[in-house]
A and B are shown apart, each in its own frame.
Chain A
């Protein structure tokens, strides 16, 4: 029972964590990426199509990342070069990609909403021989796929990148003080574009994880607002990768918990709202705590 919840929690965390790390990099670079959800959706669709046609999951994951990066590139160009409002453009991309995906499914495959192709290759799970038999450790370390490992490995790597490397510091400069960065001879707009493309790539990977990692089919509602949950995660983390991961993990835990709670007498629709309600509750609690600690100081 507890093993199942832990395992499911880690599975639910992975897509949110991947997208949140991308969004964090993007936010440090100066753009709040509302369009993460649309990039996840594009990645999920491309992953299923490539996995079914070529039978190579690595290629499918890569293609999904590239699809997300393409969407992000278009979005970032409108923001940095055409001076558009990032919030409105992000919302616009969410609606546009959702419409395009539905249009594409109907015109190319003749289905409405769900795409299930015959031999879709799934991302293989890595079972570690001896650890798998240990009760709790087995659930934590064994039976996850490459993307989960990648996501957790990227948490310290992102922290190190932002704190210790030259490109990381330049990225922070471009986000915090674009004029100072410009005076140093950097091009803040291009740095922002690069960070957005990275965010799109990560969101595409998250989408691939959802479609060919977890279920093996595509549905137009497959992201279920996880792009927005990822935003909540990196706001929760205040640009720190470790805290962002904890935020993603909290959402993953409640998501796994609500699956367990279903079918125990409570109405399923109400139980499904639990992770989203918890996000609101936690963000509110943090805001109150911050205000109190700020009020305590003179």
Chain B
């Protein structure tokens, strides 16, 4: 399994988490975000094989999901209806 990107992604998730919950102690929030993201990616990585065993969903979906999550975690869709900035 690919573990290397997960840590980058989890940091990212932490940032996303922070953006949502601006108030409060940021350190603790970030740790919580990292933990949640790590659990998500760990679950994705390990459950892929089981899901493939019991259904027709192939294990490659895990990589595709990880990539998509990384991309969608950093885009800001509000730009689309805010108009173009300099």
Interface residues of A (CB under 8 A from B): 78, 81-85, 88-89, 91-100, 102-103, 106-107, 178-179, 182, 189
Contact = CB atoms under 8 A, between A and B. Distances in A.
Nearest to B65: A99
Determine the main DSSP class of B at the interface with A: helix
A189 B69 CA distance: 24
Contacts of A98: 63, 67
Nearest to A94: B67
A106 B56 CA distance: 12
A78 B2 contact: no
Given A89-B70, A92-B67, A106-B60, 4 more contacts: A78-B71, A84-B74, A92-B66, A99-B60
A147 B9 CA distance: 37
A266 to B, nearest CB: 27
B86 A99 contact: no
Contact of B67 (A97, A179, A182): A97
Nearest to B8: A91
B78 to A, nearest CB: 9
Contacts of B58: 103, 106-107
B2 A84 contact: no
B66 A95 contact: yes
Interface in B9-58: 9, 12, 58
A85 B76 CA distance: 10
The 8 A-B pairs at the shortest CB distance, nearest first, are namely A96-B67, A99-B63, A92-B70, A82-B75, A95-B67, A103-B60, A99-B64, A92-B71
5 contacts: A82-B75, A82-B77, A92-B74, A96-B71, A103-B64
A95 B60 contact: no
Contacts of B70: 88-89, 91-92, 95-96
A103 B61 CA distance: 7
Contacts of B68: 92, 96
A102 B63 CA distance: 9
Contacts of B60: 99-100, 102-103, 106
Contacts of A93: 67, 71
A182 B64 contact: no
Nearest to B82: A83
B81 to A, nearest CB: 12
A178 B69 CA distance: 29
A83 B76 contact: yes
Nearest to A105: B60
A82 B84 contact: no
B62 to A, nearest CB: 7
Nearest to B71: A92
Contact of A99 (B67, B71, B75, B77): B67
Given A83-B75, A95-B63, A99-B62, A88 B8 contact: yes
Contacts of B84: 189
Contacts of A92: 66-71, 74
B84 to A, nearest CB: 7
A120 B86 CA distance: 47
A98 B64 CA distance: 8
Contacts of A95: 2, 5, 63, 66-67, 70
